[in-house]
Chain A
Amino acid sequence: MLTKADEYPIHQTPDPIAYSGTDRNFYDRYFFNGHSPDGAVMFGAAMGIYPHLNIIDAAFSVKIGDVQHNLRASRHLNMERMDTFVGPIRVEVVEPLKALRLIVEDNEHGISADLTITGRHFPIEEKRTTKRVGPRVLQDVTRMTQMGRWTGWLKAGGHEFRFDEANPASGVRDRSWGVRAVGERDPQVPVPVQDFQVWWYWLPVHFDDGVMLYLLNEDGDGKPWNEGLFTVSDGGDPVHWSETALDVSLWPGTRWPSGATLTARDPDGRRCTITVEPGARFFMSGIGYMHPEWNHGKNKGELAIAYDEIRESEVGAYGLPYQHVQAFADVTVTPEGGEPRRGHGTFEYILIGRHAPTGLESLFDVP
Chain B
Amino acid sequence: MIPTIGALTDADEWLNHQIVNTHAVVGSADRAWTEKVWFMLARKDGSMAASFGLGKYANRGVLDGFAGVQVGTTQRTLRASRVLAPRLQDMDVGPLAYQIVEPFKAVWIACAENSAQPISFDLTFHATMPAFFENRDVVIAGGRTASDVIRYHQPGTVSGWIEIEGERIAVDADDWFGFRDHSWGVREHVGKEPEDLVPGNLGATGSDKDKSKYHFNWLVSQIERPDGTRYDLAYYFRDFGGDGPPEFFTGHINESDGTQIPILHLYPEIAYRSTDKAAMHGRVTAILAGPGKSTVERVFEIEALDPEMGFRLLPGMYGAWKDQIHGSFKGENFLDGEAIDDVNSADKAENYRWQIRDRPVRVREGENSGYGDMESIIIGAYPGVTMV
Nearest A residue to B7, CB-CB: A125
Q: How far is the CA of A19 from the CA of B35 in the complex (A)?
A: 17
Q: Is chain B's binding surface mostly helix, strand, loop or mixed?
A: loop
Nearest A residue to B20, CB-CB: A178
A240 nearest CB across to chain B (Å): 11
Which of B5, B9, B11, B152 is within 8 Å of A6, CB to CB? B152
Contact B149 A14 (CB under 8 A): yes
Contact A16 B14 (CB under 8 A): no
Is B225 located at the chain interface by the 8 A CB criterion?
Answer: no
Is B1 located at the chain interface by the 8 A CB criterion?
Answer: yes
Q: How far is the CA of A48 from the CA of B148 in the complex (A)?
A: 30
Q: How far is the CA of A30 from the CA of B27 in the complex (A)?
A: 22
Q: How far is the CA of A246 from the CA of B369 in the complex (A)?
A: 75
Is B172 located at the chain interface by the 8 A CB criterion?
Answer: no
Contact B136 A20 (CB under 8 A): no
Q: A4-B103, A82-B14, A142-B21 are in contact. Are A9 and B35 (CB under 8 A)?
A: yes
Q: How far is the CA of A125 from the CA of B24 in the complex (A)?
A: 13
B192 nearest CB across to chain A (Å): 22
Contact A12 B133 (CB under 8 A): no
Per the 8 Å Cβ criterion, residues 15-37 of B in contact with A are 15-23, 25-28, 35, 37
Contact B16 A10 (CB under 8 A): yes
B114 nearest CB across to chain A (Å): 22
Q: Mark B153-184, 1 if CB is under 8 A from A, else 0.
A: 00000000000000000000000000000101
Residue picked from B19, B28, B149, most chain A C-beta under 10 Å: B19
Interface size class for chain A?
A: 35 or more
Q: How far is the CA of A49 from the CA of B8 in the complex (A)?
A: 20
Q: A14-B185, A28-B15, A142-B5 are in contact. Are A2 and B37 (CB under 8 A)?
A: no
Contact A7 B186 (CB under 8 A): no
Contact A177 B17 (CB under 8 A): yes
Nearest B residue to A77, CB-CB: B15
Which residues from B are CB-within-8-Å of A178? 17, 20
Q: How far is the CA of A176 from the CA of B186 in the complex (A)?
A: 27
Which residues from B are CB-within-8-Å of A179? 20
Contact B5 A13 (CB under 8 A): no
Is A131 located at the chain interface by the 8 A CB criterion?
Answer: no
Contact B136 A14 (CB under 8 A): yes
Contact A9 B56 (CB under 8 A): yes
B39 nearest CB across to chain A (Å): 14
Number of A-B pairs whose CB atoms are under 8 Å?
133
A236 nearest CB across to chain B (Å): 14
Which residues from B are CB-within-8-Å of A123? 8
Which residues from A are CB-within-8-Å of B182? 6-7
Nearest B residue to A19, CB-CB: B18
A317 nearest CB across to chain B (Å): 37
Which of B10, B20, B149 is within 8 Å of A177, CB to CB? B20
Q: How far is the CA of A128 from the CA of B15 in the complex (A)?
A: 17
Contact A11 B8 (CB under 8 A): no
Per the 8 Å Cβ criterion, residues 175-233 of A in contact with B are 175, 177-179
Contact A128 B5 (CB under 8 A): yes
Q: A13-B26, A49-B15 are in contact. Are A125 and B20 (CB under 8 A)?
A: no
A167 nearest CB across to chain B (Å): 27
Which residues from B are CB-within-8-Å of A175? 12-13
Q: How far is the CA of A100 from the CA of B12 in the complex (A)?
A: 13
Q: A4-B103, A7-B182 are in contact. Are A17 and B11 (CB under 8 A)?
A: no
Per the 8 Å Cβ criterion, residues 177-213 of B in contact with A are 182, 184-186
Is B150 located at the chain interface by the 8 A CB criterion?
Answer: yes
Is A141 located at the chain interface by the 8 A CB criterion?
Answer: yes
Q: How far is the CA of A179 from the CA of B12 in the complex (A)?
A: 16
Residue picked from B14, B15, B89, B186, most chain A C-beta under 10 Å: B15
Contact A97 B2 (CB under 8 A): no
Nearest A residue to B13, CB-CB: A96
Which residues from A are CB-within-8-Å of B21? 12, 128, 142
Which residues from B are CB-within-8-Å of A14? 28, 136, 148-150, 184-186
Contact B8 A28 (CB under 8 A): no
Contact B8 A144 (CB under 8 A): yes
Which residues from B are CB-within-8-Å of A125? 1-2, 5, 8, 22
Is B351 located at the chain interface by the 8 A CB criterion?
Answer: no
Which of B8, B23, B148, B150 is within 8 Å of A12, CB to CB? B23
Contact A11 B184 (CB under 8 A): yes
Nearest B residue to A122, CB-CB: B8
Is B104 located at the chain interface by the 8 A CB criterion?
Answer: yes
Q: Mark A112-152, 1 if CB is under 8 A from B, else 0.
A: 00000000001101111000000000001110100000000
Q: A7-B100, A13-B26 are in contact. Are A81 and B14 (CB under 8 A)?
A: yes
Which of A20, A47, A82 is within 8 Å of B17, CB to CB? A20
B107 nearest CB across to chain A (Å): 8
Which residues from A are CB-within-8-Å of B56? 9
Contact A127 B104 (CB under 8 A): no
Q: How far is the CA of A250 from the CA of B5 in the complex (A)?
A: 35
Is B131 located at the chain interface by the 8 A CB criterion?
Answer: yes
Q: Mark B33-51, 1 if CB is under 8 A from A, else 0.
A: 0010100000000000000
Q: What are some 27 contacts across the A-B interface (CB < 8 A)? A: A2-B130, A6-B152, A7-B100, A9-B35, A9-B56, A9-B89, A11-B18, A12-B21, A13-B26, A14-B184, A15-B18, A20-B17, A21-B18, A30-B15, A47-B15, A81-B14, A84-B14, A93-B14, A96-B12, A125-B22, A127-B2, A141-B20, A142-B21, A175-B12, A177-B17, A178-B20, A179-B20
**Top 7 closest A-B pairs, CB basis?**
A14-B185, A96-B10, A178-B20, A7-B103, A28-B15, A11-B184, A96-B13
| A→B interface (CB under 8 Å) | 2, 4-17, 19-21, 28-30, 47-49, 81-82, 84, 93, 96-97, 100, 122-123, 125-128, 140-142, 144, 175, 177-179
